[in-house]
Structure 1
Amino acid sequence: MITYPRLKEGLTIGVTAPSSGVEAELHDLVNLAGRRLTAKGFHIVIGETVWTQEKAKSSSAKKRADEFTNMMDNEEIDILIPPWGGELLIEMLEHINFQHLQDKWVLGYSDISVLLLAITLKTGMATAHGTNLIDLRGESSDPVTSMWQTVLSTPKGEAVLQKSSLKYQKEWQHNNPSPCVFHLTEDTLWKTNGTSQVRMQGRLLGGCIDVIRHLAGTPYGDISSFYNQHIKGESIIWYFENCELSTTDLRRSLVQLKYAGWFEHCSGILFGRSAVNHPVDGYTLEDVYAEIAEELQIPLIYDIDCGHVPPQITFINGAYAVIETSDGKGQVLQQFI
């Protein structure tokens, strides 16, 4: 059984930095995001770790874990949204008492997906892979990003539908601000490893493969125990996004996860768009996808709206999903059951 938190009206957002904090010269980004969200009726509580950054982390692992735990315990805070990702979140996992976490949403991506996946696997509580706080600083949000609140307000037992974007952002243009933060210029096209029409269903799990791969073989990446305790007899859809891995490193990572048993009961894999998809000695990303799909005998959809090439669909770890794509368009139906 999966536990689903639920948002309420007039909610309070807790902002903490379990990975990277924000350098002094970029504090205005946090303040702007806070003002935008406050204007929309949210209350904002910002932790100390958000304002500091040194040696690739916001603070010590213990301080990060303590602030995160305190916000999870705080009855006045309804959801936690970190400012953004980073590099070393994995250090703080050993300092969290997962069995005593209150039921509330944690939303983010990149390095934050280490925490999201660990929470769901350790507790059976759903977590949300999607936008971060900094990307909510715009005057408005694009239709895909803005769905985060609707998705997280879905009552248990009900379903929510999200559709693929019309356009995606190819590159950042920080010197040319956009009302919705992103510059959505390129036509979105969901692709498959076989026929143009694919349908898959199962429980969603995933995140940024660069970092969640390091949970394999640890108490925080115990897929077998999670499966037996919470979703026994069901299938799993994995969603991944690749921030920095070469095609060969991505291949190594997928093989490692296969050897670790992560793809047992897998009914399909989703891959987000990536800006680092460069061939290595002629070995392309499409080669990687074709090989893992053939080995596992499953359908695969790639270049979906997930990860570091925005916008992003909000994927719920633990939710039961039906994913469909046809002629380059896609939709994600998530059931909170």
Structure 2
Amino acid sequence: MMRYPKGLQTGQTIGVTAPSSGVDSELHDLIHLSKKQLENRGYNIKIGETVWTQYKAASATKEKRAAELNAMLQNHDIRTIIPPWGGEILQEILPLIEWEKAQAKWILGYSDTSTLLFALTLKTGIATVHGTNLIELRSDEWDPTTSKFLEVLSSEEGSMIKQVSSSYYQSKWNHDKIPDPYIYKLDTTTNWETVSNLPVEMNGRLLGGCLDTIHHLIGTPYGDVKEFQKTYLNNEPILWYFENCEMSATDFHRTLMQMQQSGWFENASGVLFGRTVAGQEVGGFTTLDALERFAEATSLPVIYNADIGHVPPQLTFINGAYAEIKANNGTGEMTMILKK
């Protein structure tokens, strides 16, 4: 059975650590501003040393990153953990995490943070949260899609959470933009699509993250999907969600084939793919070609251009929770139920 953390309440402490990348000194203001916004909403913020440094594609040595994360995972006073953002090489700390000592508490993030979320849920059955990063919370107001993260973090076993697709998304990333009123410039109409060009409904246990990083867990002790499904989900089907951060269309295709050939989709109910600025065409081969071949090979329903990942805003997903997802006429909706 899945384990859901207790809901985060005002007055409690959020821990900030950088298990992947830290923040360069010229961007430290992003952390201070985000901290202030959460404090203004009644939360205590404890920031670890790794957040303030960055060297050779990581915040600190793998030993220091793992030690700080372990300390926060085992600290009763810290109720939720939110890294500043993702990065590149979080995977190297996975062998150093004390999985059996990890307390059930919400961890929120995306990009390389999803490597940790995915592994933690598979190894322990503790539900984790794929959604906004800390530095994207630095504005006085949060857009309606992003702001659902707080409802998720305050939820616990038995809760039901409903979300709908965004109306508009941000077409170009910009960390330096002054919030007006949101941190994002929502300038392009959102349009969820399906490979079949027909309305799609699917349900199952949510699991997923950033394809660029989590596919490297295949064949490791941190990517045993079948064992997770058997141990914690009673063999219920998985409803997968993914985003492509940097892969070309052919790399994206190879990654999906690797996942399929490793058995990740043998007991699945469907796949939801996020918008991407990647997926560059290679020799006339496009991301849509990859999605069509994937749908044909797996016979799974496929929704794409959904609110996930590096093209904000994004919905908030709970790894391990039961969900029902619908897509029709360019819009989507998702209902999550935190059931064991």
CA distance in 2, matches of 1:293, 1:175: 39
Match of 2:301 among 299, 302, 309: 299
CA distance in 1, matches of 2:51, 2:158: 35
Match of 2:251 among 249, 252, 256: 249
Q: Summarize the Cα distance change of 1:157–1:42 in structure 2 as closer, same or farther, 3 Å threshold.
A: same
After TM superposition, the structure 1 stretch with the greater mean CA deviation from structure 2, 275-284 or 210-219, is 275-284
| Equivalent residues of 1:238, 1:270 under 8 A apart | yes
Shift of 1:36: 1.3
Q: Summarize the Cα distance change of 1:294–1:98 in structure 2 as closer, same or farther, 3 Å threshold.
A: same
| Equivalent residues of 1:191, 1:301 under 8 A apart | yes
Match of 1:205 among 204, 207, 231: 207
- How many corresponding residue pairs? 337
Percent identity over paired residues: 51
Runs of 4 or more, structure 1, over 3 Å off, are 173-176
Is 1:164 matched with 2:152?
A: no
CA distance in 1, matches of 2:98, 2:261: 28
Task: Provide TM-score, normalisation by structure 2.
Answer: 0.97
1:295-317 deviation line (CA, Å, top 9, x unaligned)? 10010000000000000100010
The aligned residue for residue 136 of structure 1 is 137
Q: Which amino acid aligns with 1:198?
A: V
After TM superposition, the structure 1 stretch with the greater mean CA deviation from structure 2, 259-268 or 207-216, is 259-268
Stretches of structure 2 lacking an aligned partner (at least 5 in a row)? none
1:17-48 deviation line (CA, Å, top 9, x unaligned)? 00000011111111111111111111100000
Q: Summarize the Cα distance change of 1:293–1:37 in structure 2 as closer, same or farther, 3 Å threshold.
A: same
Q: Which amino acid aligns with 2:333?
A: Q
Is 1:85 matched with 2:86?
A: yes
CA RMSD of aligned residues (A): 1.0
Q: Secondary structure at the match of 2:116?
A: helix
Q: Secondary structure at the match of 1:234?
A: coil
| Equivalent residues of 1:204, 1:236 under 8 A apart | yes
| Equivalent residues of 2:23, 2:54 under 8 A apart | yes
How does 1:174-193 map onto structure 2 within 5 Å? 174=175, 176-178=177-179, 179-193=181-195
The aligned residue for residue 232 of structure 2 is 230
How does 1:1-337 map onto structure 2 within 5 Å? 1-5=1-5, 6-174=7-175, 176-178=177-179, 179-337=181-339
Shift of 1:174: 4.6
Q: Which amino acid aligns with 2:237?
A: S
Q: Summarize the Cα distance change of 1:329–1:125 in structure 2 as closer, same or farther, 3 Å threshold.
A: same
Task: Provide TM-score, normalisation by structure 1.
Answer: 0.98
CA distance in 1, matches of 2:158, 2:283: 49
1:162-214 deviation line (CA, Å, top 9, x unaligned)? 10000000013455412311000000000001143100000011000000000
Q: Summarize the Cα distance change of 1:219–1:180 in structure 2 as closer, same or farther, 3 Å threshold.
A: same
Stretches of structure 1 lacking an aligned partner (at least 5 in a row)? none
| Equivalent residues of 2:252, 2:279 under 8 A apart | no
Shift of 1:7: 1.6
Q: Secondary structure at the match of 2:63?
A: helix
